[in-house]
Structure 1
Amino acid sequence: MEKAPFYDEIAEGPASGRAYWVKASDGVRIRVGLWSPEGARGTVLLFPGRTEYIEKYGRAAVDLAARGYATLTIDWRGQGLADRLSGDRSLGHIGHFTDYQKDVAAALDVAEAEGLPKPYYLIAHSMGGAIGLRALMEGAPVEAAMFTAPMWGIRLAAATRPAAWAVAWGSVRLGLGHVFAPGTTGATYVLTCPFEENKLTTDREMWDYMFHQARLHPEMSLGGPSLHWLHESLREMQALGRRAAPDVPCVTFLGTDEEIVDPARIVSRMGQWPGGRLEMVESGRHEVMMETPEVRARVFDTAAELFVPRARSQPADSA
């Protein structure tokens, strides 16, 4: 484990921010970032979505620190400053979707090595929601979990779902797995989409925050996914959908104007999650942690309500 670049000036996180290079069990180098304010009573493992990177969650780390929590987050393999898995840095690619679990294990090793306070909690967004769900199912040491717009299904019109499966499946067998998925390119979404048309947030300030980061550090940005990534993600979501919810307290947030992940899959999953609760955000888009100040306060207050009693119930020497 060695120090990695960390762009505090664009993250706008707590003063304790830092990042490390760490190798996963298969040798892929990832970047793990953390903020550990003094006196934190637990640590939130914040699993980002596809295309995202550590610095994007600096403001979220501020919100969590204000509620008493350290934050650890990650550049998943294939994005941010982690090793890219394709010759084209703009292409989102993966070998097997379950490879992300190797990144989870490496991040947990960093949490232990840095002595981040326990208990651990999970906040997982979009693609991170699929990674986080499998991690919970496989026994990740997490006391409670919050998901935001988790990728438990991709929003596709019913008529196009068979075609998506066919294209993704066929590309792998025809050696076209490194081709961009239909309708995507190597362009960075926040740099090319007008704010008025974006699917991520209704809040102009948070949109500008993301735009500023992507403009100053384009090396951390990512374009569309590969056909192989699409194939792997469809397989993973199908596999997760067949399994029962883990025995972990859970709240999930979903915007009523969600256009990226499949709301029906989220509603179905949360309806079968013992002790789980679905919170709808009226007029919210995909990134509720990047929404208006009122929505962000609601999201992080809910996380605190979910996490605090369990953190306080631990023996003093576990902190």
Structure 2
Amino acid sequence: MQQAPFLSEICETAPDGRAYWLDTADGPRIRAVLWPAENARGTVLMFPGRTEYAEKYAQTAADFAKEGYATFAIDWRGQGLAERLLDNPKIGHVGVFSDYQRDVAALIAAAEHLELPKPWYLIAHSMGGAIGLRALMEGLPVNASVFTGPMWGIILNAAARPAAWAITWASRKLGTSNGLAPGTRQDAYVLTEPFADNTLTTDPDMFEMMRQHLLTHPELSLGGPSLNWLHEALKETLELSRQPSPAVPCITFVGTNERIVDPRRIQSRMACWPDGQLVEIDGAEHEVLMETPAIRASVIRQCVDLFEAHCDRDEQTAPVAC
């Protein structure tokens, strides 16, 4: 594997990362960042959300390193420093949602090649939550899983949902599916919206950190999704809702002020997840790992407790229906 750029100057809490280029089976080059841990007793596979990049999770990686866990984070195709898929690099895009599973396969191959300490554990946020759930259903080799604000449904009002299906479907027929989804813009959310009443975090320092990352490295910036991405996301979340939950121990965290992904889909999924627990965090927004220090510390502690409880779990791959 070739070394890739690692943006250490925006990773003050974890500047010792190493980045790698990964080749996917269908061509796009993606990137992964490894934060090692001394005498590691396992590895966290970090699946970020849409618009995100590995370095955003430097603080999380530092927290896990203190607990004895390495972190291996991915830049999905079309975002971060991975290969962008459209002429306009600020539009988030994917051909079909299953393409992200090719990225997962490349990450797992790299983790095996690097002989990352086992057992492995999954942490998946937002869009990464949809990718991660599908990966678990397909046998992702982890002992336990954590989801934060997972995109198992997208918040749309009753009138907008059929319109979104119709518009995104029609765009494919008309050849306009690479355009921005309605109501979105090509500039990054944290660069265009104020901290007050933002939908990501209640912590002003974390919000400012996200802003400074993109101001320092504008090549990381990503705006709204393409019409095609939206169509694929709606289709994938609907298909996932019809599938049984995987028999992998799980904690899912969601803020009580979640306004991006659909909490009802999360509650429905977790109500029938075997060995699963839903933790609702009072007052938190979408990104619980970018929340206040107290919330972050609580989430990390619960993750570590889950990992320790299942460090020697036998493989259980059969899904369990509600």
Q: What residue is the counterpart of 1:224 in the other structure?
A: 224
Aligned partners of 1:306, 1:176: CA distance in 2, in Å?
A: 45
Does structure 2 conserve the Cα–Cα contact (< 8 Å) formed by 1:93 and 1:228? Answer: yes
1:48 corresponds to: 48
Contact 1:16 1:37 in 2 (8 A): no
Q: Which 4+ runs in 1 deviate beyond 4 A?
A: none
In the TM superposition, residue 201 of structure 1 has moved relative to its aligned partner by 0.2
- Which amino acid in structure 2 is aligned with residue 83 of structure 1? E
Query: 1:36 aligns to what?
Result: 36
Q: Is the 8 A contact 1:49 1:129 kept in 2?
A: yes
Letter in 2 for 1:156: L
The answer for the alignment partner of 2:308 in structure 1 is 308
Tell me the C-alpha RMSD between the 2 structures. Answer: 1.1
How far apart, CA to CA, are the structure 2 residues paired with 1:12 and 1:91?
Answer: 29
Structure 1 residue 300, shift from structure 2 partner:
0.5
Q: Percent identity?
A: 58
Cα distance, 1:108 vs structure 2: 0.9
- Offset, 1:86: 0.4
Give the number of the structure whose residues are more often helix, by fraction. 1
Could you give the per-residue CA deviations for residues 143-201 of structure 1, whole angstroms, max 9, x where no partner exists?
10000000000011122111111111111111110110001111111111101131000
Corresponding letter in the other structure for 1:282 = D
Which residue matches 1:251? 251
- Superposition deviation, residue 66 in structure 1: 1.3
- Counterpart of 2:305 in structure 1: which amino acid? E
Indicate conservation of the 8 Å contact 2:143/2:313, yes or no. Answer: no
CA drift of 1:127 comes to 0.1
1:39 is paired with a residue whose SS is coil
Indicate the SS of the match to 1:248: coil
Contact 1:42 1:70 in 2 (8 A): yes
Is the Cα contact below 8 Å between 1:31 and 1:74 reproduced in 2?
yes
Deviations 1:206-248 (A, max 9, x none): 1111111011001011010000000011111111111000000
Shift of 1:137: 0.1
Q: Deviations over 1:22-67 (max 9, x none)?
A: 1101111000111011211000001000000011000000111111
Consecutive unaligned residues of structure 1, counting only runs of 5 or more, are 315-319
1:37 and 1:70 in contact (8 A); partners too? yes
Instruction: Give the TM-score of the pair, scaled to structure 2.
Output: 0.96
| Contact 1:130-1:152 at 8 Å conserved across structures | yes
Q: Which residue of 1 aligns with 2:296?
A: 296
Which letter maps to 1:110? A
- In 1, distance between residues paired with 2:185 and 2:15? 36
Deviation at 1:313, TM superposition (A): 6.8
**Secondary structure in 2 matching 1:195:** coil
For residues 168 and 265 of structure 1, the distance between their equivalents in structure 2, rounded to whole angstroms, comes to 22
SS of 2:19's partner is: strand
What's the counterpart of residue 115 of structure 1? 115
Unaligned 5+ segments in structure 2 are 315-322
